[in-house]
Amino acid sequence: MKGQDPFAVIVGCSDSRVPPEILFDHGIGDLFVIRTAGNILDGIGMGSVEYAVLHLGVRLVVVLGHSSCGAVAAALTGEKPGGHQDSVIEALEETVSSVRGAADDEHDAASRKNVLVTVERLRNDEPSIRNLVEKEGLEIIGAYYDIGTGRVELPIGKGESS
């Protein structure tokens, strides 16, 4: 295969139960995938998305959260295990505290909110991604995979997260 021409960027969780190519039934060359614990984007992750939309011409970015996410569960405990895992917990702290006491299922609410926060961050990322959203029809949407049912909800967050 000469070069690559993926049609979507997936920002997903490293969780072994959530492999984007298998969930979305796609093969080699179809998806440009960034996976981190808790589907969090740091500078390198953002740079990876930028590369795909600027240089590969991808016009769809899907931020994929999921049920039973260990990173979100760890952040909800408020404890820090030490080492680099603390970076994961710290990145989720604000999201987690915003749902605390405000939802029956805090894990589910935090996981969904985490997706929507990342969608908004990407949409407003200056200058290049925001520009592509406004002028080139780049779509950035959130999705949620339920490990129990095997279903992907897409898009999530039209209006308010549930």
Residue number with CB closer to Zn ion (107 or 121): 107
- The least CB distance from residue 56 to Zn ion, in Å, is 26
Residue number with CB closer to Zn ion (39 or 141): 39
Choose which of 9, 58, 69, 74 interacts with Zn ion (CB under 5 A).
69
- Per DSSP bridges, beta strands 139-146 and 151-156 are antiparallel
Choose which of 8, 10, 11, 15 interacts with Zn ion (CB under 5 A).
15
Contact 67, 114 (CB under 8 A): no
In the shown chain, the binding pattern of residues 17 to 36 toward Zn ion, with x for contact by CB under 5 A and - for none, equals: --------------------
Two structure tokens written together for 91: 């990145």
- The least CB distance from residue 23 to Zn ion, in Å, is 13
Residue 13 class from Cβ within 10 Å (0-12 exposed, 13-18 middle, 19+ buried)? buried
Choose which of 11, 13, 58, 156 interacts with Zn ion (CB under 5 A).
13
Strands laid side by side in the 8-13 sheet:
31-36, 8-13, 60-66, 139-146, 151-156
Two structure tokens written together for 56: 């590969």
91 binds Zn ion (CB under 5 A): no
Amino acid at 88: V
Q: Which residues bind Zn ion (CB under 5 A)?
A: 13, 15, 69
